[in-house]
Structure 1
Amino acid sequence: MSNKLSKLIDFIRNLQNPMEYDLEPYKKVLEEINNIKLRNLSDYQLKELSIRLKKQARDGISHEKLLTESFALVRETSRRVLGMCPFDTQIMAGIALHRDKIVEMKTGEGKTLAATMPAYLNALTGKGVHILTFNDYLAGRDAECMGHIYEFLGLTVGHIKEDMDIYKKQNAYWSDITYVTTKESGFDYLRDFLCMEKEKLVHRPLHYAIIDEADSILIDETRSPLVIAGKVEEDVENQIYLSDIVRNLKPNDDYETDKYKRDVYLTDKGLSKVEDILGCDNLYHSKNLELLTKINCALHAEVLLKKDRDYIIRNEKIEIIDEFTGRVADKRHWPHNIQVAVEAKEGIVSESNGIIMGSIALQHYLSLYPRISGMTGTANTAAEELIEFYNKDVVVIHTSKPCIRKDHPNMIFANKLAKQKAIVSKIKRVHKTGQPILIGTGSVEESELLAHNLREEGINCQVLNAKNDEMEAKIIARAGEIGAVTVSTNMAGRGIDIKLGGEKELDRDKVCTLGGLYVIGTSLHESRRIYDQLKGRAGRQGDPGESRFFISLDDELIQKYDVSKLISHNYSPKHDEVVEDPVIHQQLERGQRIIEGYNSDMRRQLWKYSFIIEQQRRIIHNKRQDILIDKVPLKILSIKAAERYDFFRSQVGEETLRKVEKQIILYCINKCWADYLDYISHIRETIHLVVIGGKNPLDEFRKIAIEAFDEMMNRIEHEIVNTFHDVEINEDGIKIDKARLKVPSSTWTYLIDDSPDQFSNLPLLVKTVTTTITGTLFSLQSIYKRIFKKKKISK
């Protein structure tokens, strides 16, 4: 009866939760795999079996029918080639991955090896499998290590590096299995959009992807559109002048922030002061729309974005710090005007401003794969969003060995000073025993301050943050040594295991006796997944370990989101006293859930704004791709410019003229799409202002986007015809040096660190400046015509 009751409880829990805990369907397949005995076969026989499986797959036999044999084959090959035989838990994880699930496996449980089985099975058809990793280091490491399995079994393996030439990338992408970061794969997709010759395309049709660190990529990174940009002249002097203006404004007097300190607004007094300095009557008049945007961005950069928290300066460049990992967010920009404003604030002249030529959100890029699956150590709190946005269930794979890590209760203090003293004191006590310690901090600034305090106490420590992230592997490799003290930002939470006793585990037994790795967190985080990831650095694969988090009631996160208001004002602990009240512990946990809900709502808001642009992008991409690969006949010029077309056909021939027409069409599509993206980015930065006119920003944005896209589609045809009339043509085609078909002198890729705050409801702005607004601002049609007028072609 108890067994039936347990199954009923599991059934009810699965109905209410996108987390899948019932592993019985996977255990049945596992049993079939385990019953296949291949140890007595020779290497040659194993390779013959792989050839047979490949033929069956390409003859149309379903993957499900090949699953048990292929998984058993990879397991035996791994044992022989790598000396690692996948555990039953890894095999079940592989089955779930093949069935397009998101798999939750705790740190150290062998996700990389688990992925080899579904990767092999799905690569048998020859259509290609992408294993999308979190960073370049992991892509290279996993391709080199796991590649031995695939090559033994007759499959090809590729690894994409950022600086590869086109031909090496083509070879890598056309391999059976390709290891590549999600971002670089997306960037290559955008580069393909700019191709003028089909021979230079690097991607083939997308087929199946396994996403490593899936929660980070599918949830956290979904706010970061991928961008490819081209060089354009930029007036930075004006932005520096505007930055100087806002730097002299006074908080609460000239400007105010929202309660979450995610947006900042001029007060009536501040508005008047800025208008006097600029010499304009009304900053909110429609003619001052661009100036208003730049002022707001300068204010945002000055007040809300902090050095060594949100970004660092390295090699005379602004480098954004990823809020979830603490790493430098490689090739990341804020939206254009924010980026320029931060550079102006720090006195840096940007060398990378340009017009956006192509863009796609990671979420939309990943949806281009017919099938995706993913694996992570922390999917629990992201499960609902994974269902909502990707229709992906999360399968929880139990650890192969029980987790014996001791997670001590959080220690809460009234203020930061008391907390900092307690942290240093705890580190001193643990360090005396020789037990290795990993401290996770919330920012670069905090990590360096704590390291300074520890060194003053005579404790030598290694610091890992965004300023030395290239040293990550080396520092983490030593973090498990006896007596090691490692102070890190959240970047220590993913990707690289900390081995007890050091990289070669020479003192493993001693460290285990001491209690394993001791993880200390210095604050809560906006996401419980980051909290869990840091704890998960200890106690891997049944190792001993400990964790404890230290929190103060005036931590930035608690103040920023007004979590302190959840706590009774009647409670006032002494200066250095630990807060023992269980109600406060409960309210802090509640506050963290509220913050997660707020961030989840932000992602939904961004998705709503990006959805229509993505549908438009697919239309223009498919149209261009069909032309690039000669899938559709070209008839525009023969119809719209028949006289000139017939003349040149008699002069240079049909084939040359077809090449000319194709080149002009591809160029004009790129140009018009870039102009459209440039225009729509300006609209996104200012659309929130329509709230003051009583309109819904999302509805208005969609109206403008639809009209602008229709205008662009009509404009493409006019651009093609006008360009054809302008260019010089000979037997070799267009004389490029005399034509206006020149592509940008340089292009580069980056991610936009997008924020939905620009789409907020502007409660403070409505309150403070309604009386200064003229009605003309909210005639969005007139704004559209004014901004886009220069891009229209007279008929």
Structure 2
Amino acid sequence: MRAEYRRRTEPELNPERPDDLHRWIALAAVLAERELGLSLFDVQLQGCLALTNGRIAEMQTGEGKTLAAVPAISWFARQHQGVHVLTVNDYLAARDAEWMGLVYKRLGLTVGAIQQGMTSAERRAAYACDITYSTANEIGFDFLRDRLALYPKDQVHRPFAVAVIDEADSILIDEARIPLVIAGGNDDEGGVALRADQVVRHLQPYLHSTIDTGQRNVALTDAGIRAVESAFACGNLFDEKNLQLHTAIQDALHAHRLLHRDVDYVVKDGSIELVDEFKGRIAQDRRWPAGLHAAIEAKEGVSAKPQGSILGSITLQHLIALYPMVCGMTGTAATQREEFEKVYGLEVEVIPPNKPIVRTDYPDAVFPSKAAKDRALLEEISRVHATGQPVLVGTASVAESEHLSHLLAGVPHEVLNARNDRAEASIIARAGERGAVTISTNMAGRGTDIRLGDGVAALGGLYVIGTNKHESRRIDNQLRGRAGRQGDPGCARYFVSLEDDLIVKFGDVMPKFRHDPSTVQKFVEGQNLDIRQFLQKYEMPIEGQRHRLHTYRQSVLESETATASELERLVTLRVIDDLWADYLARVADFRTGVHWISWGGKDPHQEYLRTVHQWFGELEESLPAEIGARLRTAEESGGLDPNERGAVWTYTTTDQPFGTWSERVVKGLRRMFSERHGGA
């Protein structure tokens, strides 16, 4: 296919002809070779065709996914409706836009990149290009900001058309349910959080609180309840007047008993930074729900960040659903084939490697305790290091990486974790050299390419050691895939113990398979898919309502002032935004306690659907009266200041759409009190 066009510079193409797809891909491949000096292998062309067919292409690390996507991206972009290429960070977005832009420009296409810190004008110009590289978060935050714009010129997006997703499993599965949030105003949680923290610090585990076997929920015992009531002299902790205090106490318990420094978060530059459990990196601009985040800040003695009121939010899953056409690439997708098909309607196509994989994957080494595992790890790493073969050790947390580093004090090595993530590129660049020992969190499991140093292939290539099994097999496979790239030799082995988190959390559920982590992983993957599908049932009605309300809002935004006054237009937009924010808060409050409805013999999902349908109807019915009232007030006060809302900010929060355990308990109690006293 490439040879046919090697002799032609600008062949005649007709986008309306179906067979022009192959001709277009061939042309793009030739231009890539001329402009970049890179030839596309046949398997890369196969991956490209999978993208044009709207599939997820699984291509192993080192197989050239970035280049393979270029012909498909340009094929979609020829319609000039806008193709968004979703990358994992700003650096790759800028790099790939500039690098691959040489090919796109030869095809008559424009290309741009979104970066943090850009002005609205710069963002609008980038989105106006035929091809726009960006992270999913930046696209989502711009979407949320557009929904609060008071003038069309303040909006940066145009209608969504095509999304080509790099590292598709990360965005569509790992991060799919992480809500993107836009907030504003003041919502002070700091004072009560500090008071609760001072009391919880003196409560004793087991005597005053208990933790479930899955390490997910913590609750006060009777002795704990009495201790809190005595400390605050508040009377019955479960009285309605104490609900805010009760919530703060539960958040403080959660912060002290379930969330751990250097595992779930790090303290960096005087603030709390969450650690992404899948990547091991700092999760930029991510927070826990307001009360829980304030509890962590109180626990660690750092200054509290403003939380504000939520003005709008959307999960990445629902953001991606806005695109009529979606496809993607990743090195690990096959194990989640069922989820891609059930949730997104996307088929997975496994692309064979250009060269056969010769990596040796050894059976898991299973030990009865963490101490026994540590001894075996120290012995194995020391033995392999003595031969000169480079070793990459993947750990589950910052704390574990530093613990293993301490054990290996006698072996020269480097540590890569969320504390020194800025050094990632230089550390990874040396990880394949003779004698290198690199201890890393999951940071080294994705988006990296470890090249072997001189003579290392003869020593067996890179030796990858995993110290824990993750809940998802994909994450393990990403680490394993660091070895054996492009036909290189290599090997991989996992060292696990019966005291590892995966076994402790789920071993009681599957006691017969405690010695078989892979079977436990399959069970957990299925359980997580069921949970995500269950939660999706609760979110779909809200997404439909969001679309309906914002379609109306957009029509008001774009309306000519000669049909309505400019003041009325601004007031209407502000009323829509305020009522929607109030509605979101009301639904969140209801949803966190909806499981309590089942106590009365009602179906929670049906009750939820009935209630949110009724409330949204009330919102729509109240719009005219509220607009009229505020318009009269604005006219009497001399107008409306467009900047009245003040500053807004964006962040991501955790995958807890039903709230933390403490929120579910307290909101459920609030509902019980309300119903008992005849409230709504």
- The TM-score bracket by the shorter chain reads over 0.9
SS of the equivalent of 1:727 reads helix
SS of the equivalent of 1:318 reads strand
Aligned mate of 1:435, from 389, 392, 396: 389
Assess, with a 3 A threshold, how the Cα gap between structure 1 residues 512 and 301 changes in structure 2: closer, same or farther.
same
Task: Report the residue type matching 1:595 in the other structure.
Answer: V
User: Are 2:225 and 1:296 equivalent residues in the alignment?
Assistant: no
Match of 2:655 in 1: 754
Q: Name structure 1 gaps, 5 residues minimum.
A: 1-32, 502-506, 568-582, 635-653, 786-795
Task: Report the residue type matching 2:308 in the other structure.
Answer: G
User: Are 2:456 and 1:511 equivalent residues in the alignment?
Assistant: yes
Q: Name structure 2 gaps, 5 residues minimum.
A: none
Aligned mate of 1:680, from 578, 587, 592: 587
**Which of structures 1 and 2 has the bigger CA Rg?**
1
Q: What's the offset of the Cα at 1:118?
A: 0.9
Structure 2 CA distance for aligned equivalents of residues 692 and 760 of structure 1:
17
Match of 2:263 in 1: 309
Q: What's the offset of the Cα at 1:382?
A: 1.2
Structure 2 CA distance for aligned equivalents of residues 433 and 172 of structure 1:
51
**1:28-107 superposed matches below 5 A:** 33=1, 37-41=4-8, 45-46=9-10, 49=11, 52-53=12-13, 56-57=14-15, 61=16, 64-107=18-61
Matched positions, count: 679
**1:317-396 superposed matches below 5 A:** 317-396=271-350
Assess, with a 3 A threshold, how the Cα gap between structure 1 residues 470 and 696 changes in structure 2: closer, same or farther.
farther
Match of 1:167 in 2: 121
SS of the equivalent of 1:271 reads helix
Task: Report the residue type matching 1:522 in the other structure.
Answer: T
Match of 1:648 in 2: none
Match of 2:138 in 1: 184
Seq. identity, %: 44
Task: Report the residue type matching 2:184 in the other structure.
Answer: G
Aligned mate of 1:615, from 534, 541, 544: 544
What are the superposed Cα offsets for residues 708-728 of structure 1, whole Å, 9 maximum, x if unpaired? 323332333233112211124
Assess, with a 3 A threshold, how the Cα gap between structure 1 residues 194 and 476 changes in structure 2: closer, same or farther.
same
What are the superposed Cα offsets for residues 640-687 of structure 1, whole Å, 9 maximum, x if unpaired? xxxxxxxxxxxxxx58x6222211111111122122223333334444
Q: Is the 8 A contact 2:358 2:488 kept in 1?
A: yes
Q: Is the 8 A contact 2:167 2:330 kept in 1?
A: yes
Structure 2 CA distance for aligned equivalents of residues 305 and 198 of structure 1:
43
Match of 1:791 in 2: none
Aligned mate of 1:558, from 481, 485, 503: 503
Structure 2 CA distance for aligned equivalents of residues 696 and 281 of structure 1:
34
SS of the equivalent of 1:412 reads strand
Match of 2:182 in 1: 228
Structure 1 CA distance for aligned equivalents of residues 458 and 70 of structure 2:
34
Assess, with a 3 A threshold, how the Cα gap between structure 1 residues 598 and 268 changes in structure 2: closer, same or farther.
farther
Task: Report the residue type matching 1:659 in the other structure.
Answer: E
Q: Is the 8 A contact 1:727 1:735 kept in 2?
A: yes
Aligned mate of 2:433, from 481, 486, 491: 481
Aligned mate of 2:422, from 464, 470, 475: 470
Structure 2 CA distance for aligned equivalents of residues 524 and 99 of structure 1:
34
Structure 2 CA distance for aligned equivalents of residues 339 and 695 of structure 1:
33
Task: Report the residue type matching 1:604 in the other structure.
Answer: Q
Task: Report the residue type matching 1:746 in the other structure.
Answer: A
Structure 2 CA distance for aligned equivalents of residues 553 and 414 of structure 1:
5
Structure 1 CA distance for aligned equivalents of residues 671 and 578 of structure 2:
33
Assess, with a 3 A threshold, how the Cα gap between structure 1 residues 778 and 723 changes in structure 2: closer, same or farther.
closer
SS of the equivalent of 2:614 reads helix
User: Are 2:645 and 1:744 equivalent residues in the alignment?
Assistant: yes
Match of 1:777 in 2: 673
User: Are 2:554 and 1:625 equivalent residues in the alignment?
Assistant: yes
Q: What's the offset of the Cα at 1:257?
A: 2.1
What are the superposed Cα offsets for residues 350-379 of structure 1, whole Å, 9 maximum, x if unpaired? 223111111011111100000100111111
Q: Is the 8 A contact 1:566 1:591 kept in 2?
A: no
SS of the equivalent of 1:103 reads strand
Match of 2:452 in 1: 500
The farther-off stretch of 328-337 and 537-546 is: 328-337
- TM-score by length of structure 2 reads 0.94
Match of 2:376 in 1: 422
Structure 1 CA distance for aligned equivalents of residues 114 and 671 of structure 2:
53
User: Are 2:495 and 1:543 equivalent residues in the alignment?
Assistant: no
Assess, with a 3 A threshold, how the Cα gap between structure 1 residues 563 and 403 changes in structure 2: closer, same or farther.
farther
Match of 2:470 in 1: 525
**1:640-719 superposed matches below 5 A:** 654=562, 658-690=565-597, 695-719=602-626
Structure 1 CA distance for aligned equivalents of residues 281 and 602 of structure 2:
39
Q: Is the 8 A contact 2:189 2:290 kept in 1?
A: no
Q: Is the 8 A contact 2:214 2:505 kept in 1?
A: yes
Aligned mate of 2:518, from 572, 578, 589: 589
User: Are 2:157 and 1:203 equivalent residues in the alignment?
Assistant: yes
Q: Is the 8 A contact 1:104 1:379 kept in 2?
A: yes
Structure 1 CA distance for aligned equivalents of residues 374 and 331 of structure 2:
29
Assess, with a 3 A threshold, how the Cα gap between structure 1 residues 668 and 744 changes in structure 2: closer, same or farther.
same
Structure 2 CA distance for aligned equivalents of residues 83 and 209 of structure 1:
27
Assess, with a 3 A threshold, how the Cα gap between structure 1 residues 695 and 445 changes in structure 2: closer, same or farther.
farther
Q: What's the offset of the Cα at 1:743?
A: 4.0
Assess, with a 3 A threshold, how the Cα gap between structure 1 residues 512 and 721 changes in structure 2: closer, same or farther.
same
Q: Is the 8 A contact 1:208 1:371 kept in 2?
A: yes
Q: What's the offset of the Cα at 1:460?
A: 2.0
Q: Is the 8 A contact 2:120 2:156 kept in 1?
A: yes
Assess, with a 3 A threshold, how the Cα gap between structure 1 residues 627 and 411 changes in structure 2: closer, same or farther.
same
Q: Is the 8 A contact 2:359 2:483 kept in 1?
A: yes
Structure 2 CA distance for aligned equivalents of residues 607 and 223 of structure 1:
9
Assess, with a 3 A threshold, how the Cα gap between structure 1 residues 468 and 717 changes in structure 2: closer, same or farther.
farther
Q: What's the offset of the Cα at 1:221?
A: 0.8
Q: What's the offset of the Cα at 1:700?
A: 4.2
Match of 1:727 in 2: 634
The farther-off stretch of 383-392 and 133-142 is: 133-142
Q: Is the 8 A contact 2:247 2:662 kept in 1?
A: no
Q: Is the 8 A contact 1:240 1:347 kept in 2?
A: no
**1:111-150 superposed matches below 5 A:** 111-150=65-104
Q: What's the offset of the Cα at 1:597?
A: 2.2
Assess, with a 3 A threshold, how the Cα gap between structure 1 residues 755 and 487 changes in structure 2: closer, same or farther.
same
Q: What's the offset of the Cα at 1:760?
A: 7.8
Q: What's the offset of the Cα at 1:603?
A: 1.9
Task: Report the residue type matching 2:280 in the other structure.
Answer: G
Structure 1 CA distance for aligned equivalents of residues 336 and 350 of structure 2:
13
SS of the equivalent of 2:278 reads coil
Q: Is the 8 A contact 2:469 2:517 kept in 1?
A: no
Q: What's the offset of the Cα at 1:696?
A: 4.7
Assess, with a 3 A threshold, how the Cα gap between structure 1 residues 712 and 296 changes in structure 2: closer, same or farther.
farther
Structure 1 CA distance for aligned equivalents of residues 577 and 123 of structure 2:
23
Assess, with a 3 A threshold, how the Cα gap between structure 1 residues 244 and 140 changes in structure 2: closer, same or farther.
same
